């Protein structure tokens, strides 16, 4: 299938349009909507068609577009095409469109037949415009409905007043370039500006305050970076928070470990440095102190350091330890919570964590064994009915865990489940009881990461009828 080829086949660029000639062939509503789009770029728009819809007629009367009132004759087109920056074909005659497209191609004039990417040499992306800021979304002409949906999503996350901010930055650009010739120093200044009150002022159009803030930043040349401790959720990028996404786009460097999937890392700014600090294949983990030291060293050198962790950083994530070290070293930090494995896995497996009938509490525990291979847990508070027990890192010790829960009073047929690679497309849910689960898990060859959920809620598992 062409769509699955590893090449996109299309490359988005931004064309200079002011004062250039554009030809639209066709006089209906589609031609009118293209004419609107093109007039707003400052291009000189000519519409070639024997008749015009009322909207185009109005545009002609207003002097916004020039009307060439004649039937389209392929032979006569050659001259008219010469020097056109773009040609749009918006007639409803596909054969005619194809013939004109061939002439355009022969003359090397870019041509777009509306709704017919196969004969076009360019396509029009879905556009989000805020003043000079333009975001173009293309699906290579294959899924325009999807492109429009994405446009709505982008519209929603863009702040109001973005055009003010863009205008301000554009107005200050030359001045700043002269004052700070070093590109990366300039970039850092702008990044700090965007993070601070100056950008907020610009967004609401308060240019005087924005200018003051920018000047303040220029005189305050203490280099100090920051560490952002961010939860990346259980693996599925859909579960990233907006705050996580924003910081992933802003960071200079990201320190991440095993649970952070490649799909998630894709959302980190492309030119940010990536440092893996998790368990290596030889099972050797970078000691926590080294990680703390690295975070501090980089922040003190002025970097914006993203410490990206699976799930939530404060749940079995050693986030607390890292922040203590930062606070001690006087390094500023921010923390962004993430969806923890318990929430993500439970939701994607359809197992509620509490239930009015059978689980009035939910306990998160770690099944990680101590150095001597044993589990030190308060079994009497764990092996209780009327609660759900979620066990992180419980796969290796699953046999012992189940045996202890039975030994401390839970019935052998007490429901229990394991969710493997929860929230990801390859998620598997293995349901059983305390007596049967270890053998089932071995049988299914369940691998880490996997989360154990124990309690009657497992019996209340719900699966949507259409899935
Ligand atoms: N801070 C993380 C937990 C880190 S401990 C959080 O809040 O989720 C690592 C354990 O989390 C794994 O051993 C596993 O038990 C669980 N886990 C993390 N992601 C998981 C996933 N996608 N599916 C199943 N379990 C997961």
Q: What is the pLDDT of residues 276-301, one digit of tens each?
A: 998 654 556 678 889 999 999 999 88
- Sheet with 361-366: strands ordered across: 361-366, 387-392, 450-454, 415-420, 428-433
Task: From 312, 368, 392, give the residue whose CB has the most ligand 1 atoms within 8 Å, as the site to mutate.
Answer: 392
Q: Is 257 a catalytic residue?
A: yes
pLDDT-based confidence at 363, cuts 50/70/90? very high
Q: What's CA 251's distance to the chain center, in Å? A: 14
pLDDT-based confidence at 1, cuts 50/70/90? very low
pLDDT-based confidence at 351, cuts 50/70/90? very high
pLDDT-based confidence at 75, cuts 50/70/90? confident
Q: Is 210 exposed, middle or buried (CB count within 10 Å of its CB: 0-12, 13-18, 19+)? A: buried
pLDDT at res. 467 = 61
pLDDT at res. 449 = 95
pLDDT at res. 223 = 63
Q: Which of the listed CATH numbers 3.30.590.10, 3.40.50.720, 3.40.50.1820, 1.10.3210.10 matches domain 21-124? A: 3.40.50.720
Task: From 341, 345, 394, 429, give the residue whose CB has the most ligand 1 atoms within 8 Å, as the site to mutate.
Answer: 341
Task: From 230, 234, 348, 447, give the residue whose CB has the most ligand 1 atoms within 8 Å, as the site to mutate.
Answer: 234
Give the mean model confidence (pLDDT) for residues 22-42: 96
Whether residue 451 has pLDDT greater than 80: yes
For ligand 1, whether the C-beta of 388 sits within 6 Å is no
pLDDT-based confidence at 28, cuts 50/70/90? very high
pLDDT at res. 78 = 86
In the CATH scheme, what architecture does the domain 226-339 have?
A: 3-Layer(aba) Sandwich (3.40)
pLDDT at res. 120 = 96
3-state secondary structure of 21: strand
pLDDT-based confidence at 229, cuts 50/70/90? very high
> Distance from the CA of 390 to the center of ligand 1, in angstroms?
11
Whether residue 406 has pLDDT greater than 70: yes
Give the mean model confidence (pLDDT) for residues 343-359: 97
Positions of E strands within 90-160: 111-113, 126-130, 133-137
Average pLDDT score over the chain? 92
pLDDT at res. 414 = 98
Give the mean model confidence (pLDDT) for residues 133-143: 90
Q: Which residues pair with 392 in a beta bridge?
A: 366
For ligand 1, whether the C-beta of 419 sits within 6 Å is yes
**C-beta of residue 61 within 8 angstroms of C-beta of residue 38:** no
Q: Is 279 a catalytic residue?
A: yes
Q: Which long-range contacts (CB under 8 A, 24 or more apart) does 367-371 make?
A: 367/391, 367/392, 367/393, 367/394, 367/395, 367/396, 367/397, 367/398, 367/401, 367/452, 368/392, 368/393, 368/397, 369/396, 369/397
Ligand 1 atom closest to the CA of 319, numbered from 1: 1
For ligand 1, whether the C-beta of 21 sits within 6 Å is no
**C-beta of residue 225 within 8 angstroms of C-beta of residue 301:** yes
**C-beta of residue 8 within 8 angstroms of C-beta of residue 141:** no
For ligand 1, whether the C-beta of 451 sits within 6 Å is yes
Residue with tokens 């998630």, as numbered in its chain: 264
**C-beta of residue 272 within 8 angstroms of C-beta of residue 252:** yes
pLDDT at res. 97 = 94
- The CATH class, in words, for 342-460 is alpha beta
Whether residue 2 has pLDDT greater than 50: no
pLDDT at res. 284 = 60
Q: Which of the listed CATH numbers 2.60.120, 3.40.50, 1.10.8, 1.20.81 matches domain 162-219? A: 1.10.8
pLDDT-based confidence at 3, cuts 50/70/90? very low
What is the value of pTM for the model shown? 0.66
For ligand 1, whether the C-beta of 392 sits within 6 Å is yes
Give the mean model confidence (pLDDT) for residues 358-365: 97
Whether residue 225 has pLDDT greater than 90: no
Give the mean model confidence (pLDDT) for residues 172-184: 88
Whether residue 23 has pLDDT greater than 80: yes
pLDDT, one tens digit per residue, over 413-442 is 999 999 999 999 999 999 999 999 999 999
Nearest to 218 by CA among 247, 188, 250: 188
Check 34, 213, 252, 257 and give the catalytic one. Answer: 257
pLDDT at res. 5 = 60
Q: Count helices and strands (H / E) in the chain.
A: 17, 17
pLDDT, one tens digit per residue, over 80-105 is 998 999 999 999 999 999 999 999 99
Element (H, E) at 22: strand 21-25
> Distance from the CA of 145 to the center of ligand 1, in angstroms?
36
Domain layout of the chain by residue ranges: 21-124, 162-219, 226-339, 342-460
Q: Is 108 exposed, middle or buried (CB count within 10 Å of its CB: 0-12, 13-18, 19+)? A: exposed
For residue 60, CA distances in Å to 28, 84, 92 come to 13, 19, 21
């Amino acid at each position: 299938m062409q769509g699955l080829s590893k090449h996109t086949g299309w490359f988005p660029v931004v064309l200079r349009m002011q004062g250039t000639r554009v030809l639209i062939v066709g006089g209906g509503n589609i031609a009118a909507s293209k004419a609107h789009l093109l007039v707003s770029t400052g291009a000189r728009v000519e519409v070639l068609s024997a008749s015009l819809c009322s909207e185009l007629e109005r545009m002609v009367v207003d002097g916004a577009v020039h009307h060439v009132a004649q039937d389209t004759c392929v032979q006569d087109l050659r001259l008219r095409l010469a020097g056109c920056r773009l040609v749009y074909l918006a007639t409803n005659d596909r054969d005619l469109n194809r013939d004109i497209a061939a002439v355009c191609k022969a003359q090397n004039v870019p041509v777009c037949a509306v709704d017919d990417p196969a004969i076009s040499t360019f396509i029009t992306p879905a556009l989000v415009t805020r003043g000079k800021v333009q975001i173009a979304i293309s699906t290579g002409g294959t899924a325009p409905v999807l492109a429009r949906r994405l446009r709505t999503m982008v519209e929603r996350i863009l702040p109001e007043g973005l055009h003010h901010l863009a205008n301000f930055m554009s107005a200050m650009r030359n001045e700043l370039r002269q004052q700070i010739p070093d590109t990366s120093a300039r970039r850092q200044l702008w990044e700090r500006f965007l993070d601070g009150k100056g950008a907020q002022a610009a967004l609401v159009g308060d240019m005087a305050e924005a200018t003051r803030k920018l000047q303040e930043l220029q005189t305050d040349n203490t280099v100090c970076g920051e560490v952002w401790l961010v939860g990346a959720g259980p693996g599925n990028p859909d579960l990233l928070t907006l705050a996580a996404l924003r910081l992933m786009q802003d960071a200079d460097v990201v320190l991440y470990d095993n649970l952070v999937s490649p799909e998630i890392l894709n959302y980190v700014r492309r030119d940010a440095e990536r440092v893996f600090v998790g368990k290596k294949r030889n099972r050797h983990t970078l000691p926590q102190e080294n990680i703390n030291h690295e975070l501090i060293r980089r922040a003190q050198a002025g970097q914006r350091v993203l410490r990206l962790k699976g799930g939530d950083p404060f749940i079995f994530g050693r986030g607390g330890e890292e922040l203590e070290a930062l606070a001690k070293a006087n390094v500023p930090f921010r923390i962004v919570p993430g969806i923890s494995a318990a929430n993500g896995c439970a939701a994607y497996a359809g197992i509620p964590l509490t239930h009015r009938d059978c689980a009035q509490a939910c306990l998160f525990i770690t099944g990680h064994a101590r150095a001597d291979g044993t589990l030190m847990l308060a079994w009497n508070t764990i092996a209780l009915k009327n609660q759900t027990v979620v066990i992180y890192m419980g796969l290796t010790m699953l046999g012992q865990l189940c045996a202890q829960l039975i030994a401390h009073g839970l019935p052998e047929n007490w429901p229990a489940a394991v969710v493997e690679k929860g929230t990801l497309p390859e998620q598997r849910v293995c349901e059983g009881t305390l007596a049967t689960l270890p053998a089932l898990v071995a049988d299914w060859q369940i691998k880490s990461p996997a989360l154990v959920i124990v309690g009657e809620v497992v019996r209340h598992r719900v699966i949507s009828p259409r899935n």
